[in-house]
Structure 1
Amino acid sequence: MLAFLRKQLQDLLEQRAALKTELDAVLKAPTDEKRGLTDDEDKTFAEKRDGIKKVDADMAAIEQRIADLEDEEKRAAKADELRGKFSPEGPQPTGVKVVSEPETYRKGGKASYFRDLYRSQHVGDRGALERLQRNDQEVAAGLEKRAITTTDGSAGEFVPPLWMIDDYVALARAGRVVADQIAHQPLPPGTDTISLPKVVTGTATAEQASQNTAVQNTDATTGSVSASVATIAGQQVVPQQLIDQSPINMDQILLADLAADYATKLDVFCISNNAANKRGLLNVTGANAITYTDATPTVGEAYSKVGDGIQQIHTGRLLPPDKIFMHPRRWAWYTVSLDTQGRPLVVPVANMPANVLASMSDVVSEGFVGTLQGLPVYVDPNIPTNLGAGTNEDRIIPIRSTDVILFEGTPRAETFRETKADQLSVLLRFYNYAALHSERYPKSISIVSGTGLIAPVF
């Protein structure tokens, strides 16, 4: 922001210098000292003089804005310093990176993204529109630094502020474990289907029968796999009074709630969706199916089934799996199981375990929890627990995650007042696009299922 204003100030200085040069030229034009300025010269002189006055006024306004922003920076830095100084635990990381140019929309700032979104679209507030456009530039620059790509919006939509996207990502990580652990690509603009080429049958070689005889000649055949773009959206109706009169910005509360639910829905989409060109992991055609049937299941038996799923990826894909997904209740079943001597089969890494079935890392509800057969284990509560004939089974998913690609866009927001005008309300809409390529290599996915994975007994 400060760089933008300083560039404006420099441009005005150059504009003023040019006007001053032209004004001096007018004054020096008469060669006869007895002759005054002509009417045209007098008019030009007045225009240049007024132009300089306007530039001076604009420069003064920008200089004041720069001074205000610099003061705001100093106050924010001082507040962070005091917050750490007087914290009972000592200085605490604030998560705020103090830079020379504060963002247009930031936590604790005066500008409200949703309020500006409404006022730019429905009131014609030019200042709000300029802030939104400046924010889009800031977001694009910020995402570029993070190696994330965003697509351009149309006239009626804007990208949420960078701090909102950071929060959205943080929330999404907590609620979309599987979606975050597969490969990611930015969603290309202007398409509703993403098709990737695939070699169906390859070439071949063979031993030559004898010298000067034909060598093996087998033509490869190719095809493609497609992923349809899905739209995940939500909306929230808020009273006009909240937008106009609220002393606090509702941006963080509203977006956090919408983003948290979006994260869950996207994760479920990646795990359980069952539609052509949109299949989640559990419904991939041709995936390795491992059935574990047992009325009295044990961790030891389940261990061998997971091993079967791993070896099927080795032999079918000819490359190793890299992760295992399961429901938190399944991992808990592992961690509480004992051997015949009453010793736990899964112990913390800190205990330097030997001859154990698996090892535990941090105790978390979602995310990385430990290792099993040399692979990292991630628990995700969005893995269903109502599967099977008894609607009480979950699934274990060994996978080569880099073979599954999630194409995801950047979330967008819009406001509408027409549909709710009769009750003085405004509709906020949040949405994003995503496409999942899960069937490029079906043999990269193993699904362990069956009565051995019914609800565990503790």
Structure 2
Amino acid sequence: MTLEEMIAAAREALRAAIATRATAQEQLMALRNDPNLTEEMVTERTRVRDEADAAIDTARADLERLEAEQAREAEVADLTSRTSPAAPRPTGGARVTSEPEVYRKGGQTSYFRDLARAQLSGKPDAIERLARNDRAMADSTEYRALTTTDGAGGDFVPPLWMVQDFIELARAGRVVADQVRSQPLPGGTDTISLPRLATGTAVAEQATQNTNVQSTDATTNSVSAAVTTIAGEQVVAQQLLDQSPVNMDEVLLGDLAADYAIKADVFVINNNATNKVGLLNVSGVNGVTYTDASPTPGELYAKVADAIQQIHTGRLMPGDKIFMHPRRWAWFLGALDGQGRPLITPDATNSIAQAGGVVSQGRVGVLQGLPVFVDPNIPTNLGAGTNEDRIIIARSSDVIFYEGAANAETFRETLARQLSVVLRFYRYAALHASRYPKAISVISGTGLAAPTF
């Protein structure tokens, strides 16, 4: 197998690895809509996705090694042509005193075509012409001092675009949205209403035999969640889709999906519209205020205990998850006791809580027996000083987040006259956060202003 064939095979292997990874990621994301989701299922899908990542790294390393070898071969060929002894000048007959430039306007060869053929395929004729041109330029007495500055030669030194390693936009995930109860969105409706007992029946001790027993009528009402549409689009020139060496539609649709994840999470946390109320805006939640100009983790710890017990008292069921901004958890991690020891340590020795691994979003540890999840989408601009964050404690199964299928589409017809393509991503969603207001506790106040370290 030639070097060119090996490079082609390596490129194909890299493309296949990327496709496998994309499929694994789609399957992992699809688990979020599985009502029977288990931790084992997530672990297995994550393992498959991570193996695909490793395959990509291996294929990319192989390709880079082969391309480096090809470039080295071209370099050696060039050096060989430069150092070969020149043919002896004939002693008789006609002598060439002027030779046309190797690369000239109207000539049969192209400098850039030869450059590509030499670097990518190692073609001997292209390498020979490039070397001959270099010698001719070096022997010429009419030349300008060129540099890599644009306008003085630099225009012929193109930038190297490593498109296969493009930098994705850093985006937050959807931690809170993934930790509440997930259900597929029913079709054929724009509102999901749940009947509810407002007040219940009653019993009492019968005063005496043969007298009326307690009779109390129950009352009912309902809670409604309006279906909303979370959508976005990107208009792209057809030329960009055709000429780019990467699949720009996949890149941009993937980014739209990533931004949807943020907006869905914010919708669950902080939306505030009729029948579309997020956790922080539910009417009747357990409100715990922590007012302190010099807050400490120890004092806030007591407020967390109060928030937890209010769920026990009002909902008569335990809360199961704590959500906070990463900066608040970092503040907890930085706290020390009177002996200079951390209050939160991995083994929980002498600690008020236990820390997990280093995570920027997701589960980070345990506080008062409940798992702690950090989410950068929790707002940090609340309160009178617009610098407060919030801590949410909830019985997560009491909050239902409905999501429809994700729709990623492309349309050429709508902008056909200008040769543009519309990339569109949308998904329908609805949130029932008001089913049990007392299943949610929110800690607020000046004690949750931006922490100092």
Q: Distance in 2 between matches of 1:366 and 1:178?
A: 10
1:423 corresponds in structure 2 to 418
1:269 Cα offset (Å): 0.7
Q: 2:249·2:423 contact (CA, 8 Å) conserved in 1? A: no
State the SS of the aligned residue for 2:277.
coil
Change (3 A) 1:148 1:95: farther
1:395 Cα offset (Å): 0.5
2:309 is matched with which residue: 304, 311, 314? 311
1:276 Cα offset (Å): 1.0
State the SS of the aligned residue for 2:266.
helix
Change (3 A) 1:415 1:175: same
Change (3 A) 1:184 1:146: closer
1:175 corresponds in structure 2 to 173
Change (3 A) 1:213 1:186: same
2:262 corresponds in structure 1 to 264
Q: Distance in 2 between matches of 1:244 and 1:354?
A: 60
| Pairing 1:39-438 to 2, within 5 Å after superposition | 96=20, 147=34, 175-244=173-242, 246=244, 248-348=246-346, 351=347, 353-438=348-433
State the SS of the aligned residue for 2:366.
strand
Q: Distance in 2 between matches of 1:313 and 1:379?
A: 20
Q: Distance in 2 between matches of 1:178 and 1:316?
A: 22
1:354 Cα offset (Å): 3.2
State the SS of the aligned residue for 1:295.
coil
1:318 Cα offset (Å): 0.3
State the SS of the aligned residue for 1:216.
coil
2:39 corresponds in structure 1 to none
Amino acid across the alignment from 1:403: D
1:194 Cα offset (Å): 0.4
Change (3 A) 1:106 1:296: closer
Q: 1:174·1:367 contact (CA, 8 Å) conserved in 2? A: no
Q: Distance in 1 between matches of 2:450 and 2:31?
A: 45
Change (3 A) 1:420 1:269: same
1:51 corresponds in structure 2 to none
Amino acid across the alignment from 2:251: I
State the SS of the aligned residue for 1:258.
helix
1:452 is matched with which residue: 427, 447, 451? 447
State the SS of the aligned residue for 1:200.
strand
Change (3 A) 1:260 1:310: same
Q: 1:230·1:433 contact (CA, 8 Å) conserved in 2? A: yes
Q: Distance in 2 between matches of 1:264 and 1:319?
A: 30
Cα distance per residue 1:363-414 (max 9 Å; x no partner): 1110000000000000000000110000000001111111000000111123
1:174 Cα offset (Å): 5.9
Cα distance per residue 1:171-190 (max 9 Å; x no partner): 99961000000001100011
Deviation >4 Å, runs of 4+: 94-97, 142-146, 171-174, 244-248
Q: Distance in 2 between matches of 1:371 and 1:377?
A: 5
- Aligned pair count? 313
1:121 corresponds in structure 2 to none
State the SS of the aligned residue for 1:428.
strand
Amino acid across the alignment from 2:203: T
Q: 1:226·1:437 contact (CA, 8 Å) conserved in 2? A: yes
State the SS of the aligned residue for 2:434.
coil
CA RMSD across the alignment: 3.3
Identical-residue share of aligned pairs (%): 68
State the SS of the aligned residue for 1:175.
coil
Change (3 A) 1:217 1:322: same
1:346 Cα offset (Å): 0.4
State the SS of the aligned residue for 2:425.
strand
Q: Distance in 2 between matches of 1:405 and 1:202?
A: 23
1:440 corresponds in structure 2 to 435
Amino acid across the alignment from 1:308: D
Amino acid across the alignment from 1:190: G
1:217 Cα offset (Å): 1.6
Change (3 A) 1:144 1:180: closer
Q: 2:198·2:221 contact (CA, 8 Å) conserved in 1? A: yes
Q: 2:321·2:394 contact (CA, 8 Å) conserved in 1? A: yes
1:96 Cα offset (Å): 4.7
1:91 corresponds in structure 2 to none
Q: 1:387·1:394 contact (CA, 8 Å) conserved in 2? A: yes
1:277 Cα offset (Å): 0.6
State the SS of the aligned residue for 1:194.
strand
Q: Distance in 2 between matches of 1:234 and 1:145?
A: 21
Amino acid across the alignment from 1:293: T
State the SS of the aligned residue for 1:207.
coil
Q: What residue ranges of structure 1 are gaps of 5+ in the alignment?
A: 1-74, 84-93, 98-104, 108-137, 150-165
Amino acid across the alignment from 2:199: T
Q: Distance in 2 between matches of 1:182 and 1:412?
A: 22
Q: 2:269·2:378 contact (CA, 8 Å) conserved in 1? A: yes
1:248 Cα offset (Å): 4.2
Change (3 A) 1:198 1:414: same
